Structure 1
């Protein structure tokens, strides 16, 4: 760790001296051999930081540009289409310009694992739309993909420096988080969760005016027009979502650019502003997002969600006679998939040239299909049928085998189960568990799978709730006849 005080800003609260700041950046860059990873979201702050870094490093000699600078953008796969297209074009321009200018800069995009994607969790597994109390999306969609890239660079180089375009004036919380891990005598901070990663925030002293002044007075080194970025902000009345690499980073919200499906906030002001300012082709996304938000209404949760949890258990709180809602009902998930594909078709029909988008990928559809078959006993292949009915195309089914159960098998299963008064889904799960270990020499896992399936609650909701009422009534009866209870009350 270099502790040279010369690489610190003389007075970060003073008006911005660009010449001094660039020299400061160059000093930090030359101080060690740790590669830099610049978090790039496509918004004003990250663009300002990247452009500033580029300008400063470009003034070094070719020999001094010895260590790589990775520009890292995180695509959650549910970003606002306009932003996705803008970032894709920008990353391509960055790589082309870096090669021409001999800069040690390379840009790449990370995405979540398909099994962790938003639609696989929400439509496939039935996770309810994210809320402040159950924000399951941030870690899966943002933190994990970025951290995997950073950990790989740490494994390769030993340590890395993350360059983030965050500003202390943006919020009191952010300023507190930024100062929490500062290393005395250096320009760096320790990363809050990643060993071997350090954080450098070159524009932390900038105000919003400083950011826009820099962007509009200095040409982009990769050829972008920053006035287009300003116009995009004006149309959306928006801020930006930073690259999220830990749970301390504030989530998007209010009028920020970010995931178009975000239901953590009450209103998606950025999307609403885009639609109001001429981007009417995005309205189907806003409608679908608002429908997801409506499922969070406490008075309507039971319309959309199962009475059981995903593991088949039923959970009650205190003396409540109704259970805690579980995942979205299977029928509602099928309805959501249909509406998502309809929105995709409508958006692409009305999108301006070059703005066509994919809301859900084939890989996600195949994973949803796999989950529905194994967990819901969906041998009728609802995913493929929905895709065909909405898009008119056949879903490619890579990796399927001749041992998959077919719709005709589902008919036989239903008949057998009705004769023996068994839930078809129970028997379907048991058969899928057996099929999953087909061909394996060691079948030890099958016992645990079968046990987990049999331990689920397979009775209907009415039977479970009736038993709950009887048990509570019995408890109250025993309590009222207990002398100790009478004394205490």
Structure 2
């Protein structure tokens, strides 16, 4: 079992190393959960092993500003410790925390403007049902950050930034279907519907 895990880890690290050597920066999406933590560890190790490159990499987290304070404080504490590790290891990594725009924040939109509380049941965009809360509080802020990072990468002469996701098909049937439709892969970066290049190193991992 241990050897199998190590083999999967080395395979994931090797793929990310290859992209780094090709000039791509990595941006690991970190939420504090077990899967994103694993993806973060693998990403940092790949960056550490290719320390000779000049490409800048990133860790990005989203603060929806409505989380339980204990959970929010935990995430920020972990990111503070991560920053200390990055500095001590001299890794070319920047940590970013995104937040919703002022107009999209819960207090402003719900109490200030009187809009309905966002739920998966009442969200519709362009005629399709959507998780409006996730879109306004996570997806759009993340998209704005990606645009900024892409601009900086281009200015530095680097290739397109690849977003590393801690997604697993084994997590649920619906997740497996969605990942299959997007063709998420642990070996090849794929283009998402939002236009981002994404890599899912844990896609075939299981919790067994």
Stretches of structure 1 that go unaligned for 5 or more consecutive residues are 1-14, 210-489
Q: Give the SS at the match of 1:91.
A: helix
Q: Under a length normalisation based on structure 1, what TM-score does the superposition of the two structures give?
A: 0.37
Quote the residue 2:139 is aligned against. 143
Quote the residue 2:48 is aligned against. 58
Quote the residue 1:69 is aligned against. 57
Aligned pair 1:37/2:38, yes or no?
no
Q: Give the SS at the match of 2:203.
A: coil
Q: Which has the larger radius of gyration?
A: 1
Stretches of structure 2 that go unaligned for 5 or more consecutive residues are 124-131, 155-159
5 Å matches for 1:46-445?
A: 46-60=36-50, 62-64=51-53, 66-135=54-123, 136-158=132-154, 159-182=160-183, 187-194=188-195, 197-209=196-208
5 Å matches for 1:443-454?
A: none
Q: Under a length normalisation based on structure 2, what TM-score does the superposition of the two structures give?
A: 0.82
Query: What CA distance in whole angstroms lies between the structure 2 residues aligned with 1:183 and 1:143?
Result: 18
Richer in strand (by share): 2
| Larger RCO (CA under 8 A, 6+ residues apart) | 2
Quote the residue 1:23 is aligned against. 14
2:184·2:199 contact (CA, 8 Å) conserved in 1? no
Deviation at 1:183, TM superposition (A): 8.5
Deviation at 1:103, TM superposition (A): 0.8
Summarize the Cα distance change of 1:155–1:25 in structure 2 as closer, same or farther, 3 Å threshold.
closer
Deviation at 1:78, TM superposition (A): 0.2
Deviation at 1:157, TM superposition (A): 2.5
* Aligned CA-pair RMSD: 2.0
Q: Give the SS at the match of 1:127.
A: coil
Query: What CA distance in whole angstroms lies between the structure 1 residues aligned with 2:184 and 2:169?
Result: 16
In the comparison of the two structures, how many residue pairs are matched?
A: 189
Quote the residue 1:231 is aligned against. none
Query: What CA distance in whole angstroms lies between the structure 2 residues aligned with 1:203 and 1:193?
Result: 21
Deviation at 1:87, TM superposition (A): 1.0
Query: What CA distance in whole angstroms lies between the structure 1 residues aligned with 2:84 and 2:44?
Result: 14
2:184·2:200 contact (CA, 8 Å) conserved in 1? no
